[in-house]
Structure 1
Amino acid sequence: MGKILKILYVNYSLNTGGIETLILELSRRIDKSRFSPAVCVFESGGRLQAEFVKLGVPVYVLQKGRGTDCCLPLRLAKLIKKEKFDLVHTHNQAAWLYGAIAAMLSGTRIVHTNHTTADYHNYHARRGHLIERILSLFTQKITTVAKSVAEYMINMEGISARKIEVIYNGVKTELYEQDFGGAKQKEELNLDDNHFIIGNVARLVANKDHRTLISAFKIISGRMPEARLVIAGDGPLKNELQFQIEELGLRDAVKLLGNRRDIPELLKIFNLFALSSLREGFPVVLLEAMAAGKPVVSSDVDGNAELVINDETGLIVPSGNPQALAEAIERLAGDRQKAEIMGINGRKRVKTLFSFEKMINGYERIYIGFTSAF
């Protein structure tokens, strides 16, 4: 048996989210006869930290100071040397910045995964592009979760295409195929079979554009009094969105649930899933909704359009357009047979192309490519 490769995953936190779930599943499913995973984060108290502990995966917390923490790369490099990690795998820009410097200081190879794109039309994004272009020079391999993200890094940031490989996110498809029934969730939320339930699962942040979704629902509710909007997720915009709901007179029809641990069960009670994001890499939640057999209505941005086949597994609409979003949802609500067929097609697409097995195999292949250096 060859050397077991010690991999340190570096991310900002272990709060519930797509990146954190990816790292958790990599740590859970990776071939332990070849790889030994550990995690380093810059913020303590993440909700998923206990899950890593259950797996026996070491979690290191290097608390980041306010603003730019110039000492953090030194502390991270010290950790890498002390624990003798062979490879650092970072996720998104903050982790990449500190992780790349630490990897250079410790003489360790680095892989970076980029999960999203940025808005090019502002100063901070342009500065971010320059930073990422510089970081790419000291990074041995870059993976992205969607072709659109890879194209963005190549065309907008000037990063070499030879360094970049697309590895799509995956989901545990069998989990979402179970018949949960959903009676408990419907009773909790005061819903019944007469309601048409539009679902969304996303952090309450500006990029997810819940304001457009709620505005679209206002249009829908005027024509479909049986419609209900259920949003699972928490974030800094919760109070602002609650105010919008009250202002539009939707208190009884829109439910903000906060963070949930029963997403597979919750997805089962939705009649369709709506995602109104302004920017996405390759959203795991869309994969989950499709794996659950739900038709989806999604904004036409980045990875969404790679995942959803318009008029086959769901409908694609322009971002930031409440009227278009409302019309698409009403179209599926008015043709339940078409919506059901879309859900079936979506499930087949996820099982064929976006399984955990394909994703894990992709990352393992990347890691194995580094073993000759050790």
Structure 2
Amino acid sequence: MEPIRILYVNGGLMNRGGIESYMMNYYRHFNHNKIQIDFIVHNAGGYGYYDEEIKNMGGQIFVLPQKSKHPLSYTSQLKAILERNDHKIIHTHMDAMGAWVLKTAKDCGIPIRIAHSHNTQHLTTNPFKLFFLEQARKNINRYATHRMACSNMAGQWLFGNQPFQIIRNAIELEKFQYNEDIRNQIRKKYNIENDFLIGHVGRFDMQKNHAFLLDVFAKVHKVVPNSKLMLVGDGHLKNEIKKKVHELHLENAVIFTGIRNDTNLFYNAFDLFVLPSLFEGLGIVAIEAEANGCNTFLSTSVPQEAIISQNVEHIPLNINQWVEKSIFLIKNYTTRVKRDFTPKILEYNINTESFKLENTYIDLFKSNSK
């Protein structure tokens, strides 16, 4: 029997990011004799970080132009993809923008149309784009036959009072278990030694709130000179953040690692992980940090579901509160040790969660085949 082919739709190329990591984590752990994933990506030309891995696992990649720049050719090319290929299930990972894809999928007769919410806010501040995104958000329930979300906040934001299924942002827990040797290797490599290391993992854009984090760290560093900040990731605001580091005279205290394919190792080096995001659907990096046993500070814009361990503070985006709590933690800090996974952390095991989603797809496919 041929595997069920499911069409995932991503908002950009399949580069490293939270939503892309979610899709790949599940794809890797599906039984490919039962489930196969193909991908629609947006951005004519160029290649995604995960493209070769997708192809090696048997997935196809279809590239569309950006809808905002080529609206007519976008729709015609999307229809051609949907009509040429025998996908009974389409699963969009574009938040509100999935509405336009699902509308076309409905017109093409695709029976199972899943919208997935990964956020609690639109990823732009452009008024023109916001207008169209809001129109899409208001229409998404009209075109989706099924709804999924990474948290209750994310589901309620996109789907309102319509029912939805929570699909956890699950990870390979074993990769994130604390390791003392790796901690020492990374700290030696970056010349951290006995400093107190605050760490952040995430792309440099507005949502992740790096400017706020630097303002907090500047005040902490004045009180605790042997503190350092490590920023893991890349993004379009990176140069702007580097400029701010220079203006704050923190060049010797802030470490930029660039983009990494081994971010799971870096949590070992942190004494405190911070996620001061302006909004998050869940915040998969928070799950990773907690699985590693890090002390963790999250902004209250990060959903409650992201708190799955005892070592977490949920703090409003107030600089003084972040500074006070950071200094208090540093002064009362105890040595990191390996901790057992809590029952809540075990709920984010990709091995069990991928099996559940795989069976959801199979059940949906079978119900449509009757």
TM-score by length of 2: 0.89
Q: Secondary structure at the match of 1:64?
A: coil
Change (3 A) 1:266 1:293: same
Change (3 A) 1:50 1:362: same
Q: Secondary structure at the match of 1:369?
A: helix
Residues in 2 aligned to 1:200 and 1:38: alpha-carbon distance in whole angstroms: 32
| Correspondent of 1:359 among 353, 359, 363 | 353
Q: Secondary structure at the match of 2:231?
A: strand
| Correspondent of 2:368 among 345, 370, 373 | 373
Q: Secondary structure at the match of 2:280?
A: coil
Paired amino acid for 2:236: P
Deviations 1:227-270 (A, max 9, x none): 00000111111111111111111010011222112212211111
Q: Which runs of 4+ in 1 moved over 3 A?
A: 119-127
Q: Is the 8 A contact 2:178 2:293 kept in 1?
A: no
Q: Which residue of 2 aligns with 1:188?
A: 189
Residues in 2 aligned to 1:140 and 1:249: alpha-carbon distance in whole angstroms: 53
Change (3 A) 1:21 1:121: closer
Residues in 2 aligned to 1:177 and 1:4: alpha-carbon distance in whole angstroms: 33
Residues in 1 aligned to 2:157 and 2:96: alpha-carbon distance in whole angstroms: 18
Q: Which residue of 1 aligns with 2:92?
A: 90
Change (3 A) 1:330 1:358: farther
| Correspondent of 1:348 among 342, 345, 348 | 342
Q: Secondary structure at the match of 1:330?
A: helix
Q: Secondary structure at the match of 2:71?
A: coil
Paired amino acid for 2:113: I
Q: Is the 8 A contact 1:73 1:101 kept in 2?
A: no
Residues in 2 aligned to 1:5 and 1:110: alpha-carbon distance in whole angstroms: 14
| Correspondent of 1:50 among 49, 52, 58 | 52
1:117 is aligned to 2:120: yes
Paired amino acid for 1:114: S
1:8, distance to aligned residue in structure 2 (A) = 0.7
Q: Which residue of 2 aligns with 1:67?
A: 69
Q: Which residue of 2 aligns with 1:134?
A: 139
State which drifts further: 88-97 or 231-240. 88-97
1:334 is aligned to 2:307: no
Q: Which residue of 2 aligns with 1:242?
A: 242
1:146 is aligned to 2:151: yes
Q: Secondary structure at the match of 2:255?
A: strand
Deviations 1:11-33 (A, max 9, x none): 02211011111111222111323
Give percent identity, aligned residues only: 23
| Correspondent of 2:321 among 300, 324, 328 | 324
Change (3 A) 1:355 1:216: same
Q: Structure 1: which 5+ residue stretches go unaligned?
A: none
Paired amino acid for 1:117: T
Q: Secondary structure at the match of 1:373?
A: helix
Q: Secondary structure at the match of 1:46?
A: coil
